[in-house]
Amino acid sequence: MMKTAYFPGCSLHSTAKEYDASWRLTSRKLGIELQEIPRWICCGAASAQVTSHLLSVSLPCRNLALVEEMGLDTVITPCAACFNRLKVANQEVAENLQLKKDVEEVLGKPYGGKVTIKHPLEVIVKDIGLEEVRKMARRKLQGLKIASYYGCLLVRPPKVTSFDDPEDPQSMDNLVTALGGEALPWAFKTECCGASFSLSDTDIVFELSGEILNGALEAEAECIIVACPLCQSNLDLRQKGIEKRYGKKLNLPILYFTELLGLTLDMNVRELGLSKHMVSPAKILEKVGFEI
């Protein structure tokens, strides 16, 4: 049993509960014991960065310092934005002693800088291994055509995130292949979905996410899998609006890769949170052999 700290982040406790639930379920099955960081705080996301640099580094570092207090050396965080912020902050304090001092003053406690930050994908592909996952899978994806969408934060900047190719990432695609699906080559894997403009300037999201959905459809995808709560909500929640604007039916279910993995591990559809999506994943479930 691999024991690590767990930083769900705000989204996974609110809009992306199904990501949280499906990761907790699948990780247990994969032999990972997640210990949620007690009294964790927001990573600061994009807002802290535009407010104050010191704040944007201190917020993630507080969470990392808590991990050290737990006596653990690794933390897993599924949200791509959290993952990115934690990684960036950790690297910045490692490279800049003055900043480290300033951060420690803000926190009122020392931070040793020894925590490794991992994304679930990295854990599955690198630590556990796809061969192991393939053996565990009780159901196969039956050639389901899947477009893997990574978004911008998970693989960039490559020097910081450093676990997959920044232009043509492969980890989710390889997972899909291992589980018996068809990983589609397409050009929008790392395009921006519009992110937090979802609320402030919806037009931008309509355009950017529209491009992505269109691209997946052109590649003949039956669904898109994602690894970021914001990507999921933009592609899923705004799909109706995009359909209206383009005047064409898309009907592309947007799943977390953890949900897909959960299905092949024969888990409960409802517990995985598959009922929470706007675009119904019914046709996928059917293909994998679940009855609705």
Partner 1 sequence: MARIGVFVCHCGTNIAATVDVKKVAQAAKSFPGVRFTTDYRYMCSDPGQDLVRRMTKEHSLTGIVVASCSPSLHEKTFRKCTKDAGLNPYFCEMANIREQCSWVHDDREEATSKAIDIVRLTAAKVRKNKPLQTAFIPVEKRVLIIGGGISGIQAAIDIAFAGFKTVIVEREPSIGGRMAMFDKTFPTLDCAACILTPKMVEVSQNDRIKLYTYSEVETVSGYVGNFEVKIRRKARLINEDKCNGCGTCWQRCPVRVPSEFDMNLGKRKAIYVPFPQAVPNVPVIDREHCVYLSKKKCGICKKACPFEAIDYEQEDEIIEEKFGTIIVATGFTMFDHSIYGEYGYGKYKNVTTGLHFERMLNSAGPTGGKVIRPSDGKEAQKVVFIQCVGSRDEARGVPYCSRLCCMYTAKQALLLKEHNPGAEAYVFYIDIRAAGKNYEEFVERVQDEYGVTYLRGRVSKIFERNGRLRVKGCDTLSGAQIEIDADLVVLATALIARPDAPGLAHMLHIPYDQNHLFTEAHPKLAPVETVTTGVFLTGACQSPKDVPDTVATASAASVKACGLLSHDKLPIEPQIARVNVDICSGCLACKDVCPFGAIEKEEIVDRITQEKRWVAKITPSLCNGCGACNTTCRPGAIDLDGFTEEQIFAEVDSLVAGKGDEK
Among the residue ranges 17-25, 71-79, 187-195, 246-254, the one whose residues contact partner 1 (CB under 8 A)? 187-195
- Residue 36 binds partner 1 (CB under 8 A): no
Q: 253: how many CB neighbours lie within 10 A of its CB?
A: 23
H helix runs in the chain, sequence order: 9-12, 17-29, 45-51, 53-69, 80-95, 97-107, 120-122, 130-136, 158-161, 171-178, 197-200, 202-218, 229-237, 239-246, 257-264, 269-272, 282-288
Q: Is 187 an interacting residue with respect to partner 1 (CB under 8 A)? A: yes
> 130 or 219, CB closer to partner 1?
219
Give me the helix-helix angle, 257-264 and 17-29, nearest 10°: 40
Per CB under 8 A, 218 contacts partner 1: yes
Interacting residue with partner 1 among 36, 106, 142, 166 (CB under 8 A): 166
Contact assessment for residue 224 and residue 189, using Cβ atoms and an 8 Å cutoff? no
> Residue 10 has which token pair?
């705000």
Question: 216 or 265, CB closer to partner 1?
Answer: 216
Applying CB under 8 A, what is the total number of residues that bind partner 1?
8
Q: Can residue 168 be called a binding residue for partner 1 (CB under 8 A)?
A: yes
- Taking a C-beta distance cutoff of 8 angstroms, is the pair 137, 181 a contact? no
Element (H, E) at 5: strand 2-6
Q: How far is the CB of 168 from partner 1 (least distance, A)?
A: 5
- Does 191 contact partner 1 by CB under 8 A? yes
- For residues 187 and 278, which CB has a smaller minimum distance to partner 1 in the complex? 187
Question: Do 284 and 255 meet the contact criterion of CB atoms below 8 Å apart?
Answer: yes
Per CB under 8 A, 286 contacts partner 1: no
* Nearer to partner 1 among residue 167 and residue 220 (C-beta): 167
Is residue 160 part of the contact set for partner 1 (CB under 8 A)? Answer: no
Q: Omega of the bond prior to 185 within 30 degrees of 0, cis?
A: no
- Does residue 165 belong to the site contacting partner 1 (CB under 8 A)? yes
188 vs 206, beta carbon nearer partner 1:
188
What is the C-alpha separation between 178 and 264, in angstroms, rounded? 11
CA–CA dist 280, 125 (Å, integer)? 28
User: Which of 8, 65, 13, 62 minimizes the C-alpha distance to 35?
Assistant: 8
Decide whether 9 or 210 has the Cβ nearer to partner 1: 210
Rounded to a whole number of angstroms, the minimum distance from the CB of residue 268 to partner 1 is 38
CB of 187 to partner 1, least distance (A): 3
Of 141, 198, 211, 205, which is closest to residue 172 (Cα–Cα)? 141
Task: Tell me: does residue 203 bind partner 1 (CB under 8 A).
Answer: no
Positions 100 through 159 that interact with partner 1 (CB under 8 A): none
- Residue 201 in contact with partner 1, rule: CB under 8 A: no
Phi, psi of 181 (to 5 degrees): -95, 175
Is the dihedral angle over the CA atoms 280, 286, 288, 292 positive or is it negative? positive
Report the residue number, 165 or 286, with the smaller CB distance to partner 1.
Answer: 165
Least distance (Å) from partner 1 to the CB of residue 191? 8
Shortest spacing between CB 286 and partner 1, in angstroms: 30
Given the complex with partner 1, which of 67 and 242 has the nearer CB atom? 242
- Provide the binding-site residues for partner 1, judged by CB under 8 A: 165-168, 187-188, 191, 218
